[in-house]
Amino acid sequence: MKAIHALGLLALFIGATFAEPLSAAELEAATGDQLQLLMYDFEQPLTGREDPKLLAATVSKVLERAGKQFAERPRSDVICLGIGYAGVDPSAALLQLARQSTPTIRPASDCARRETMSARVSSRPDLLLRLDSIERRGGDIARIHASVFLGSMSGAGWRCEAVRKGALWTVGPCRLMWTL
């Protein structure tokens, strides 16, 4: 009972110490921007309807990072590409763009049907690159979360920053977020 009372007092104290949030008018006056430009959407699952140029640039960057991360682990030359946490097949436009830098990319559904030992044992293809989610930070800035799985026991996840200049997306730093 004393613990519940103490938590209630703590919550009251914390709530009373926060300042009032700024209004949209105060934000616009301070920055010269509209509130919509200052705020961004939080992480959303990728649907495959995003700009294929952004996703293809991310594929290339993440595969570069994965090559370094897993340089000493055996893997197939085939790379399977899935979109969203469910790993659905990418669009034809994305596959075409991604194959310009990595010709062995296949849709995730093709790889799931492969008759290799790793696919039978783990239900994962030899190498699965999954573009998981996106954080929009305005029209020309995004943060993509991607995962790579090697069989059932190895994997890693990255968070990559992307900026668009004109029609070209440049994927900059990718931060390793987790590894198995």
The token pair at 5 is: 């009372």
State the sign of the Cα–Cα–Cα–Cα dihedral 76, 48, 95, 178. Answer: negative
Domain count, the chain: 2
CATH number for position 76:
3.10.450
Residues 124 and 74 reside in one and the same domain:
yes
Higher pLDDT, 19 or 83: 83
Residues 141 and 110 reside in one and the same domain:
yes
Residues 59 and 98 reside in one and the same domain:
yes
Q: What is the pLDDT of residue 169?
A: 95
pLDDT per position as a tens digit, 48-63: 889 999 999 999 999 9
C-beta of residue 101 within 8 angstroms of C-beta of residue 53: no
Residues 12 and 91 reside in one and the same domain:
no
For every residue of 18-63, DSSP letters joined together read SPPPPPHHHHHHHHSS-HHHH-----EE--S-S-HHHHHHHHHHHH
Q: What is the pLDDT of residue 11?
A: 38
Residues 96 and 71 reside in one and the same domain:
yes
The yes-or-no verdict on residue 98 having pLDDT over 50 is: yes
Q: What is the pLDDT of residue 34?
A: 41
Residues 21 and 96 reside in one and the same domain:
no
Give the confidence band of 113 by pLDDT, cuts at 50, 70, 90: low
135 Cβ neighbours under 8 A, 6+ residues apart: 40, 41, 42, 43, 44, 142, 143, 145
Domain holding 77, by residue range, is: 40-179
Provide mean pLDDT across the span 71-93. 86
The rounded Cα 118 to chain-centroid distance in angstroms is 25
Q: What is the pLDDT of residue 137?
A: 86
Residues 161 and 74 reside in one and the same domain:
yes
pLDDT per position as a tens digit, 2-32: 544 444 433 334 443 333 443 434 433 444 4
The token pair at 77 is: 């030359």
Residues 68 and 24 reside in one and the same domain:
no
C-beta of residue 162 within 8 angstroms of C-beta of residue 57: yes
Residues 12 and 97 reside in one and the same domain:
no
